[in-house]
Amino acid sequence: MTTSSWRSQSAPTSVPKSVAKGSFEISHKLGEGCFGEVYSGKCSRTGSSVAIKFESSSKSDLQHEVSIIKMLSQSKMPQGFAQFHHFGREGKFNCLVMERLGSSLMDLHKAANDRFTARTVALIGRQALYCLEHLHSCGIVHRDIKPENFMCGIGSKASHVYLIDFGMAAKYHANGKHTPFQQVTGFSGNLRYASINAHRLHSQSRRDDLEALGHMMYFFLLGRLPWSGLPAKNWREQNRKVMEKKENTPLVELNGSHPQQFRDYLAYCRSLGFTSRPDYAMLKGLFSRVLEQQAKELGRQIEDPDLEWIKAEDKSKCAPLQLPAPGRQPEDAPAFVPRVRGLARLCGSRPARVGEPDLPLAIA
């Protein structure tokens, strides 16, 4: 959740002033969503900023998210994922305390007049791929890739991109094998960015996260996608129209005059089979080639902080990226069995949560 797009509000009396036996103090409300509410706070011991999510204790969304987070941080949470601090029950609430982040990529895109340069998009894409590669190495797919679910850090980490919100995440690999292909009953994701197979209500795998990232990259480049604004009477019709527009829009036309590597990226992702192991190194190489071309045009090397929201005088203050080493994908290990409770729940018994509807209806 973004911190910049919400107006700060005083904490209601129903929310405690601190959680975890006083370890984290609550400051003000940042926003709310279908899961509950999120507040700004700080660690009583270190003074570091944190974000605190609350949901009714009768719900289990935060417990599901914590299960995913624990799988991601076997020893230490890698860069690109917010640090986990605490989860527990506080009165009538479940409470999750995480590292505080900055603005979402959606907010930053709006601030840039709804256009990012190819340089910025390639830098974002490369970091996002590291996040997805690590997520997928743990046998998990996100299923809700969109600009609102990528955020930048704060302070010296303003150039670091984080993947957040694992409420729709699910296991795609368990007990040493890929989950079987299924026709599902519920849509998971966001109509604007979802893969074509997600529109078909096919069970999702790694290819779907990667394709959705490709759609997000084009949204950043173009400001508006060809399947946006299609009139529809209901969600079913809108889903069909968006799917057909994605299927029928030639990638050459979608790409226009932008570097062809963006087109190559999306074409590759759409070519993958349900159980295919993506070539993450090749995909990251596509974004690196975009940056090499941009460097030639600029006459200088492109650095990781060369993002549009980082002021020139602040680039030297940005902490270097510490990107995780390429992770082994589940099929690389013969007996991949993650040690985590509630595995069956993550493998599909948990009902799919429908993505937030695009309102008004015609906006996809």
Catalytic residue, chosen from 61, 107, 144, 165, is 144
CATH code where residue 331 lies: 1.10.510.10
**Residues β-bridged to residue 170:** 141
How many beta carbons lie within 10 A of that of residue 88, not counting itself? 13
pLDDT in the model for residue 78: 86
Judged on CB neighbours under 10 Å (0-12, 13-18, 19+), 328 is: exposed
- For the chain, the maximum distance between any two Cα atoms, rounded to a whole number of angstroms, is 59
Q: Annotation-wise, does 53 bind a ligand?
A: yes
> Considering 99, 118, 133, which residue would you say is the last residue of a domain?
99
Domain with residue 73: its CATH number is 3.30.200.20
Closest by Cα among 4, 364, 5 to 219:
364
The boundaries of the domain holding residue 20 are 9-42+49-99
Output the pLDDT for position 34.
66
Token reading at 88: 């527990």
Rg (CA), the chain: 20
Both 230 and 91 in one domain: the answer is no
Write the CA distances from 12 to 20, 106, 250, 332, integer angstroms.
18, 28, 51, 49
Position 32 scores a pLDDT of 81
Same domain, 180 and 262: yes
Task: Please indicate, yes or no, if residue 188 is contained in any of the structural domains.
Answer: yes
Are residue 85 and residue 205 in the same domain, yes or no?
Answer: no
Q: How far apart are CA 328 and CA 273, in angstroms?
A: 19
Residues 326 and 259 in one domain: yes
pLDDT of residue 361: 37
For residues 344 and 233, membership in a common domain is answered with: yes
Same domain, yes or no: 137 and 212: yes
- 209 and 259 inside one domain: yes
Judge if 299 and 240 occupy the same domain: yes
* Same domain? 239 vs 317: yes
**332 a catalytic residue:** no
Global pTM reads 0.87
Q: Is 60 a domain residue?
A: yes
Residues 197 and 159 in one domain: yes
Is 313 part of a structural domain of the chain?
Answer: yes
Q: How many domains does the chain have?
A: 2
Q: 362 in a domain, yes or no? A: no
* Residue numbers in the chain where pLDDT is lower than 70: 1-13, 33-34, 75, 333-364
- The Cα 275–Cα 344 span in angstroms is 19
**Shared domain check, 148 and 65:** no
Domain boundary among 58, 82, 99: 99
Across the chain, the runs of DSSP E, i.e. the strands, are 9-10, 18-19, 24-33, 36-43, 49-56, 84-90, 93-99, 140-141, 150-152, 161-163, 170-171, 173-174, 177-178
Q: Say if residue 114 is in the same domain as residue 95.
A: no
